[in-house]
């Protein structure tokens, strides 16, 4: 679970960016800009990152600040799951990435698996929906939702890496390689096997806060 201070600062920065986009008042623009700058400075302090490294934060020109959307795909073959080795950090992940404009989430994950592992698949079931801030991931200045799909192969080709990956292979759940912690958690993979074994299982998602 994300540090509540990080959650509040991300929310504050997003409100400042949204305010800058919509306000027509010159004085309010100055105030929102200052609030945004203070929020980014505090984010940088909390995460021990230089301000220029805070990539992906909402910007006024983008309009109303909303979370980004990421998709990940689980392809299971003979009791093993497809993983790709990321070129950026040398660690393994379920194939996927940010959604492209103009494509549905299902179309996006099918494209990502084709581009990262050389396999043609069809997305069959949304098995998990996460708010990254509420998941077991390292702190992140960005805010986004993670959509996980169970995918079915169209054919039985062997996986092959592409420009964003250096390897692609199937792994047994008890013999997973080192995972890229910012992209995927072992529990995401465990959940894929649960849903594959029970096709009628409803999509899992983050629980809401208790009603007080």
pLDDT digits (tens, 9 = 90+) for 108-147: 999 999 999 999 999 999 999 999 999 999 999 999 999 9
CB atoms within 10 A of CB 56: 12
Question: Which helix (H) or strand (E) segment is 11 a member of?
Answer: helix 4-22
102 and 196 Cβ atoms separated by less than 8 Å: no
**pLDDT score recorded for residue 21:** 95
CA atoms within 13 A on the CB side of 42: 15
H helix count then E strand count, the chain: 4, 8
Mean pLDDT computed over every residue of the chain: 94
């Amino acid at each position: 679970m994300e540090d509540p201070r990080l959650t509040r600062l991300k929310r504050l920065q997003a409100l400042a960016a949204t305010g800058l986009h919509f306000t027509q008042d010159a004085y309010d623009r100055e105030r929102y800009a200052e609030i945004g700058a203070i929020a980014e400075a505090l984010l940088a302090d909390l995460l021990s990152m230089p301000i220029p490294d805070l990539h992906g934060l909402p910007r006024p020109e983008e309009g109303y600040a909303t979370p980004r959307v990421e998709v990940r795909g689980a392809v299971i073959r003979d009791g093993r799951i497809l993983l790709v080795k990321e070129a950026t950090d040398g660690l393994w992940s379920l194939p996927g990435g940010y959604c492209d404009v103009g494509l549905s989430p299902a179309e996006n994950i099918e494209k990502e698996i084709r581009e990262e592992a050389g396999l043609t698949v069809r997305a069959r079931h949304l098995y998990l929906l996460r708010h990254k801030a509420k998941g077991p991931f390292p702190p992140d200045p960005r805010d986004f939702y993670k959509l996980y799909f169970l995918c079915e192969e169209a054919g039985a080709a062997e996986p092959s890496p592409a420009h964003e990956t250096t390897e692609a292979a199937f792994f047994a759940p008890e013999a997973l390689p080192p995972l890229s912690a910012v992209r995927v958690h072992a529990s995401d993979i465990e959940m894929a096997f649960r849903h594959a074994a029970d096709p009628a299982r409803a999509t899992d998602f983050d629980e809401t806060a208790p009603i007080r």
